[in-house]
Structures are given as C-alpha cells and as structure tokens.
Amino acid sequence: MKCLHALCCAFVAILALTEPRYLHSQSPVAADYDRERRIWSISNGIIEAQYTLTDQNLFRLLTLRRLTGKRWANAGAPASSPINMNIDGNILNDNTKWELADTTVEPAPRGGLRQVIKLRNDNAEAEITLRLEMHPGQRFLRTYYSYRNVGQTQHYIQRARFFNMRLNTEGRQMRAFTVNQVRQGAPLMFDTVERELSTQRNQAITVFAGAYADQCTWLALRDDADYGLVFGWEFDGRSAVTVQLVNAGREVLISGGPLALHLPVRPGREVTFPAAFVGLFRGDWDEAGYRTHRYVEPILAAPLPDDNFPYFIYNTWGYDQNIDETTLRRSAQIAASIGVELFVVDLGWARQIGQWEQDPVKFPTGLRGLSDYVHSLGMKFGVHFVPVEASANAPVLIANPDWTSSVDNDYFEADSLCLSNTGAQIWTRVSLLRVIRTYGVDWITQDAENLVKNCSKTTHTHDSANSNWDNSVNGIDALVDFIRGRAPQTLWENNADGGTMSTFGALQRYVTFSSCDACEELPRRQAVYGMSYVFPPRYIDRYMGEYPTKFTTRSSMFGGPWILMQPLAKLPAAALNLLREEGALFKALRGLIREGKVYHLLPRPDGYSIEALQSFHQDWNRGVIFVYRPESPVAQETIFPRGLNPNGTYRVSFQESRDVFYRSGASLMSSGINVKLPTKFFAELVFVTGE
C-alpha cells in the first residue's frame, strides 16, 4: 500500500500547471422564473431544465436537454413530477394539484446556483420545498425536496422518491448499466451488469443499493445512438431505484427512494430527503463514468486532503490483533524508510470493541507515545474504529444492554449498536472525540459489518419501523458529520467490511472507500475495474497483504490509497526495497490516475485473461496503461489506447521493457501497442506521453 526519479519530477511539474482541475470554459448558471407562464428555467450553457405549474395547477418537468443534443423531455412530454410521496395514505404525485407559496434563487455550494420552489397542498397538509441545483461547466441537475407538516397532528411519511422521471426514448433501444458493490457472503465484487430494457410484461430493472445492499447508488442508461443519462442518489441506507420502458417503449420511467420508510413528522416540523442527480452524456459507459467523476469530485465529494492524496499507507492488520508497542515502533520505522505517508493501527489497540481506551498491556507507555513517534518520522497517524459495534462485556453495554439493535451482524463476536438511539449516538460521539484528541489521530479507518443497522425495538428513540432511515440519517451520517465538524483535521476512510456502503452520500463524508478490504490480488483488480465506472479513482483504496512482487504491487496501484498490511518487521531487505521502489512509482503516478479519465480497455479481470486499464488526461496529454498477465498463456498482447489526440505525436515507453518509440495518436488507437508479457503473473506499465 535513475528513470523513476525523472518520472516523479515530470509528474510533479504537471500537477503544478493544472489548476483548476475539472472545470474549464464555463458559462455561469442562469435561473429564471417566468411569472406569467409559471415556468422555471435553470441552465449553464450546456444543459437546460425547466419546470412548470400548469393551468390545472399540476407541477411538471417541462424540459430536460443538452443545448446541443437530445431533448429527454420537451414541452411537458413525457409528463412527470419530481414530487412523489405517500403521507398517511395520501398520495402526492403527477396528478396532485399545488398552489405556489414562494420562489427564490440562491447560491449553491461550490459555485453553483439553486432555484427554490415552495408549493402547498392543503388537503394533504403538506408544504414542499423543491430545490434545483446546477453548476458551471457541468452536465448535471441535482434535485431534492423538503416536506413540512402544516397540519395539527403527526404525519407518517411512507414513501418519498429520489426520482420520479418519465423521459423520451424516441423509440430507440435502451440499455441499462449498473455496478454491484461488495457484500460478505454474497458473490458480489463490483461486477458490472449491462442489460437491455424490454417492454415485455412491464419488465423492470431494479437497483438495490445502500449499506449492506447489492449495488452502488448509480445507474446509467444509453440508447442505440449513444445518447445517455447517469443517475446517482445520496442516501446511505437501503434504497431501490427502478427503470423500465413504458408507453410501448416510447418512454423510460425512473423511480425509487428509501426502503422501509415510516418517518414521523410532528406538526410544524420539516424533513429534507436525500438529493439525487441526473447527468446527460454522449458516448459509451466509460464516458458515463467519466462525466460522473468530473461532477461528483468537485461538487459533492469530501475535499482532497492535499495534492499528495491518495496516500501510500501502512496498516497493522498483517499482525492481526497480535500487536504491541515494540513491534509497532519497529514497523513504523520500517514504514517510514520505504516512503509510507500514513501509519494506521488496526483492530486490537483498544481494551476491546466498544471500550475505546488503549490496551495498557500492549501499550505500556501509551498509544499517544506511538502516535508521537509516528509523527516524528514524518507520517500521519490513524486508528481503526468501529462505531456501530460493542462487545457484550464492554462497560457501555453492561450499563446499557438495550442499546443493541434488534438484528445482530456479529462483528468479531461484538454486538450491533443502534446508533440512531440517542444515548448510543451521544456515547459514540464522546468516545470517538476522546480517542482523536487523546491519541493525536489524523485518520479514522471506520469499520463494521453493516453501518446502517436494522432495529425494530420500541424502547429506542427512533421509530421502530423506520430504522433504515434513522440509522442512516440520524445514525452513521449524524456521527460522521458531528465528528468532522469538531475534528476537521481528521480524515475518514469508509471501510465497512469492504465496500458494503458504496454511495454518493458516503462520498460527501469520507476521503476514500475500501474496495474489498483484505482481499487477494484478483478481487482487488476486479473491484477497481467496477468501482472506477462509478466513483473517482481516489475513492478506491486497496489493501495488500501478500508477499510483495511486481505483480501484487501493481495490482494495488490503480485507484486511491495503496495500503500495505504485511508484518513489515518480518520482511527481508529485498522485499522492503521492492516496496520502496514500487511506492515511489505509485506516488509518481497517483496524480495522473486521480485526475485522468479511466478507460476499460479489456474485459473485467477473471484471473486468466490479459487485462488492461488506462488513465489518460487530455489536458496533460499523457496517460498510463496497466497491463496484467495472470494465468494466461499469451506472452504478448496488442493494446489499443483511447482518448489520444489523433493528430498528435506520442512517445510510448514501458516500465519493464526498454522499448521506446514515437507514433501518432491515430496510429496508436487504430493499430495498438504491442506489450510484451514474458511470464505468468507479469504486470507492465505503458506510458503514453504527448510531444
């Protein structure tokens, strides 16, 4: 987790010349309300969205289009409303009549503009505030709404959709593309699924997403002319979003929201539902992923800690829980000598799970002493923390046995905590702040079997039928938001037993995600392959536990933080030297991988066939291709790079081969690059650099 020096210097020089990273020729966002026609418009010179309150007082999506491309909604056809709710059996949907209460325009974070539309329906005792957000240079519209109870009694919200959109297919064939996440005990490893939409029997494709669900909170659609849409939603709990063809295939319906919703709202109170976004693109699935990355990174994601991110990290899990102060001081010394930037003490540092105090036997002079030593070596210091679990004999559960959730996920024999129960939430906040401040913690590796617990207890402060919402919004989200607000210098890694909560809600709170946690080289590459369609590469960290070879190290480089977890004190000098050299290579390439466009040049890794994954940055006019030969008998492969300037000239070089040649971009993309792969379990890096 002599030529190399020149490569490092070149990449540092490139990084210094490339601000701003994502947004280039930008037109400002314009938002307008035509009071006479009752039409709201928001546009940034790339896309336009319009909504209307019709003469019949129906609220409608009027227009959704790229200004130079396809109209997905035009003149109110197909007809749909973004508001779709069930409140105590009262259905608010496309046919609901509304009165306009107010409308304003206000700034949105990160340079955007927000149009605010307030609507009332007195029959349902509902006031809805709809928010439409757009940003300069982006092909995306972000929407969300709030509900305020204007009645005199408590209401229960039983449905509130992120999406309720009917869009025009023009009769073209449509395909859907989704990416699974990872879940222990299930054959899910960020594999990609492409399916054709069919009109037969109202066939629908459902994305079951969120914590401990099956898919990432992302869906891409594309027609046979390569006009496409991408959808994302910002909820960490479990949700379902469905896409299906309707109206004899002339329309596509996208709808869905949180599952198991039973949300009480007292009179006068307001609740805001998770946001969702839709983006328009033209191209293949790589383009859908790239446009998603270039939107969520500058607009939604937790800010980059610094320009050296993603970090080269060491994690102590190679020792399991058999750690002590002497071993870790020696490991820290070795880690610093090979270039590690962050040293993380994994599970086993505390007295037990849920008793978050240093183990005095393992750390006789204190964990703070180790933290200070790590800092003195020039590294950041991190600890493993499990916010939603506690051992049965931990003092917190001895004193408060009812704080457990009704469904136990069995994490290292610890019991599941219900974090949306007020007492457990407050205790966890206090405990974690004390850990951060007492031990000088720069990084939290957050772990758990399931971060959004199922709990039906009637003795807790949440509604017994609403724990999916509460343990997300008022549970893990509230905890992370609280701690980040009071310890903003401490960075969070979303390691939920691997990538079991791969959502755009989490992306806003964490600087990176675990892909498949402590997995071998093949599932690491499989996870990178799938995750890189959905999330920016820095959100794909990889844990490497094998003995280091160039194949295993390069199976760990592409993406976010590279995390070593070997027992460093037991490795010979040759292995440490290799880690030092490969770590320097990772650092030289991390900026390009972080900023570039990902191209999936060959199919998903299967452990046998040749693999190739490319990152190319058009502004920098350079890229790198990772080529892997696992068990394949093939000793060379022609790789066709993508995204090059056809009229430009490129220098092609290799990390292992001494071959160097120059060819045009058009020639490289049409004729390919012959890559030598002389042995099984061989990894080559191909550098393509514009002249």
How confident is the model over 125-171, as pLDDT tens digits? 999 999 999 999 999 999 999 999 999 999 999 999 999 999 999 99
In a domain, 459, yes or no: yes
Q: Does residue 514 share a domain with residue 438?
A: yes
Q: Does residue 572 share a domain with residue 606?
A: no
Q: Does residue 621 share a domain with residue 580?
A: no
Tens digits of residue pLDDT in 451-504? 999 999 999 999 999 999 999 999 999 999 999 999 999 999 999 888 999 999
Find the CATH number of the domain harbouring 318: 3.20.20.70
The token pair at 290 is 């790239």
Which of 239, 269, 299 marks a domain boundary? 299
Candidates 384, 517, 389, 385; CA nearest to 453 is 389
How many whole angstroms separate alpha carbon 28 and alpha carbon 129? 24
Q: Does residue 278 share a domain with residue 360?
A: no
Candidates 549, 544, 556; CA nearest to 590 is 556
Kindly tell me if the per-residue pLDDT of 663 is higher than 70.
yes
Q: Does residue 612 share a domain with residue 586?
A: no
Q: Does residue 102 share a domain with residue 43?
A: yes
Which of 2-16, 63-77, 392-406 bottoms out in mean pLDDT, i.e. has the lowest? Answer: 2-16
Kindly tell me if the per-residue pLDDT of 9 is higher than 50.
no
Tens digits of residue pLDDT in 98-121? 999 999 999 999 999 999 999 999
pTM for the full predicted model: 0.95
Query: What is the Cα gyration radius of the chain?
Result: 26
Predicted confidence band of residue 592 (pLDDT cuts 50, 70, 90): very high
CA pseudo-torsion sign 165, 169, 171, 173: negative
Kindly tell me if the per-residue pLDDT of 520 is higher than 90.
yes
pLDDT at position 610, please?
Answer: 98
The pairing of strands 251-258 and 415-416 is unpaired
Q: Does residue 354 share a domain with residue 449?
A: yes
pLDDT at position 85, please?
Answer: 98
Find the CATH number of the domain harbouring 181: 2.70.98.60
Sequence-distant (≥ 6) Cβ neighbours of residue 426 within 8 angstroms: none
Is residue 270 within 8 A of residue 146, CB to CB? The reply is yes
Residue 402, sorted as left (phi over 0), alpha (psi -120 to 50) or beta, turns out to be alpha
C-alpha to C-alpha distances, 408 to 262, 388, 390, nearest whole angstrom: 21, 11, 11
Number of domains in the chain: 3
How many whole angstroms separate alpha carbon 508 and alpha carbon 461? 26
Residue 577 neighbours by CB distance under 10 Å = 13
pLDDT at position 69, please?
Answer: 86
What is the domain extent for residue 576? Answer: 312-597
The mean predicted confidence, pLDDT, of the chain is: 94
Q: Does residue 610 share a domain with residue 592?
A: no
Q: Does residue 337 share a domain with residue 230?
A: no
Kindly tell me if the per-residue pLDDT of 4 is higher than 70.
no
Could you give phi then psi for residue 79, rounded to 5 degrees? Answer: -90, 125
DSSP structural state of residue 58: B
Kindly tell me if the per-residue pLDDT of 296 is higher than 90.
yes
Tens digits of residue pLDDT in 172-227? 999 999 999 987 677 788 999 999 999 876 689 999 999 999 999 999 999 999 99
How many whole angstroms separate alpha carbon 659 and alpha carbon 661? 7
